[in-house]
Amino acid sequence: MNINDLLIEELRRLEDNRGETPFVPVHHWQLIAHERGYEAYAKDMDCVWRWVIVRDGQVMQEGCSISLSSSIRSVQHVLAFYTALPPSSQPAS
C-alpha cells in the first residue's frame, strides 16, 4: 500500500466515524493543543500532517498541513475563532 492509499484510507475512516464514534487518538496521534474543552491532535502521514480538533470526543474540524509547525498554526487559528464565540454560538459536537 502506497502513501496515497494510506492517506485516503485515513480520510475515509475519519469521515465514516464523524458524529457517530468518539475520536480516540491512536496510531501516533500527537496532542498539539488543549483549550477550553477542545483538543487537537496531529499525525504524520509521511507526505502531510493530518490534524483534527475534537470536543467531547467528536471531530469538530479537520485538515492537513505540510508540517507539524504549520498544523499547530492552523489549529491555533481555528481554536481562536471557536473560543471567541459566545457559548450559545459554539459549534455543536
62-75 pLDDT, tens per residue? Answer: 999 999 999 999 99
Asked if residue 47 is part of any domain, the answer here is yes
pLDDT of residue 63: 94
Residue 54 lies in a domain: yes
User: Model confidence at 82, in pLDDT bands (50, 70, 90)?
Assistant: confident
Report yes or no on 60 lying in a domain: yes
User: Does residue 93 lie within any of the structural domains?
Assistant: no
**CA–CA separation, 78 and 73 (whole Å):** 9
Tell me which residue has cell 494510506.
6
> What does the alpha-carbon distance between residue 8 and residue 40 come to, in Å, rounded to a whole number?
20
Range of the domain at 44: 3-88
pLDDT digits (tens, 9 = 90+) for 7-61: 677 767 766 655 666 777 787 899 999 988 999 999 999 899 999 999 988 888 9
Counted domains in the chain: 1
pLDDT at 79: 93
Question: Where is pLDDT greater, at 3 or 68?
Answer: 68
